[in-house]
Amino acid sequence: MATVYVSISSDIVHEGILNIIEEASKLGDVFVGVLTDEVVASYKRTPLLDTSTRKAVYANLKNVVKVVEQDTLSYAKVLRELKPDYVVHGDDWREGVQSRVREEVIEILSEWGGELVEIPYTRGISATQLEKDLLVFLGSPEQRRGSLRRLLTLKKPIRIIEASNGLSGLIVENASFTDPETGQVRTYDGMWVSSLCDSTFKGKPDIELVDFTSRVRTIEEIMEVTTKPIILDGDTGGKTEWFSHNVRTLERLGVSAVIIEDKTGLKQNSLFGTEVKQTQDDPHAFAAKIAAGKRAQRTRDFMIFARIESLIAGQSMEDALSRADIYLEEGGADGIMIHSKEKDGSEILEFMRLFREKWPEVPIILVPTSYNQFTEEELADAGANIIIHANHLTRAAYVAMRDVAQKILECHRSLEADDMILPIKEVLTLIPKE
């Protein structure tokens, strides 16, 4: 009996997939290759169902003889192991980024005389559209809250960027880039709700002046139009008693994590470094605050990360590492953010090297604003799990708005600013009506 290989990434079993499996079964025994969670998460949203569940679903479909895991985007490894007589795929991959994968499949099949069979694409069926129809579910507090913790097990690095209102949230939600060489699609995995940016958009200084209720309104505004996980910049966390209550509020909203920094007194932005007085909290008192927050949690999904400011405040590497130990061992923190304003990044790399000797699996978060010469992949190779681009959309928006306002003043009219802004028709259709 001939063997037939069908590779599937979707966890939504729709008419198009069933049709391909049906047609494949006419050629021989059908082997379904299920792309693993790690592979799917590398180029699109995390699957709703994990690998083992998706394997079980496809294993129980009519005409499927066996299910195997495909742990790379390339078919090469699994094809050379199975040596199928046929590979069956829809004919929608002949053009665009998937055409390279198609060419590779044809080349590999030629090694033993295998054949690619393409089934006409089932019109009117789109997994992407079906996924859009699931946005209500994807954006629910329960689904969103646990998505970051799941991503930590599937992907490194996790790519996060700042969002400070509904519009920037939509930009983050929909931004994508297709690598012309590999065809791989890159997107943002989640959003950072920054205290600095939230304050800036409200025209207020970044000194914890914007209260928690106002921060919650910003989060709700973003959540209403997006589905990706949210990490909140929690500043110092405030008083321990307040922090415990705020954790429950954030958890109930569907926020995935909060990061609090080990400083006391009137907030001074970390990027000022030692130019201003940066006072760190007693490490054991700060660990107690984290522990109180962890005890307040109602679910396992929510995470609390400790942000260590030792390298900002001019303290030693030993102090930073000691604090990390205390926050993890005494406080039960879910991970560490290590911060630095130094442009060469050497102390960040040194911290991660030493930290990983004792804590190989604990998540590390970096905000490489001042040392952005490193790629996300380079920082991940050095030990980082989450990379946050913390304020770039706010900074871009300010420049654009300032320049347009200046241009109109210069020219006594707005005509000269037309090429600097969106056409009004695009503005009217920018926000989806449904």
Q: CA dist 334 to 41, 46, 324, 339, 379, Å?
A: 22, 21, 11, 17, 20
Among 127, 163, 169, 122, which Cα is nearest to 23's?
122
Peptide bond into 205 cis (omega under 30): no
| Three-state DSSP class for residue 417 | helix
Catalytically active residues are 206
Concatenate the DSSP letters of all residues of 101-152 into one string.
Answer: HHHHHHHHHTTTT-EEEEEPP-TT--HHHHHHHTHHHHTSHHHHHTHHHHHH
Cα distance between residue 136 and residue 225, in whole Å: 10
Which token pair is 244?
Answer: 């415990």
DSSP state at residue 211: -
Q: What number of helices (H) and strands (E) belong to the chain?
A: 19, 15
Cα distance between residue 18 and residue 8, in whole Å: 11
Based on the number of CB atoms within 10 Å of its own CB, is 219 exposed (0-12), middle (13-18) or buried (19 or more)?
buried
Based on the number of CB atoms within 10 Å of its own CB, is 325 exposed (0-12), middle (13-18) or buried (19 or more)?
middle
377 backbone dihedrals φ, ψ, rounded to 5°: -65, -40
How many of the other CB atoms lie within 10 Å of CB of 51?
Answer: 19
Cα distance between residue 201 and residue 217, in whole Å: 13
In angstroms, how far is the first alpha carbon of the chain from the final one?
50
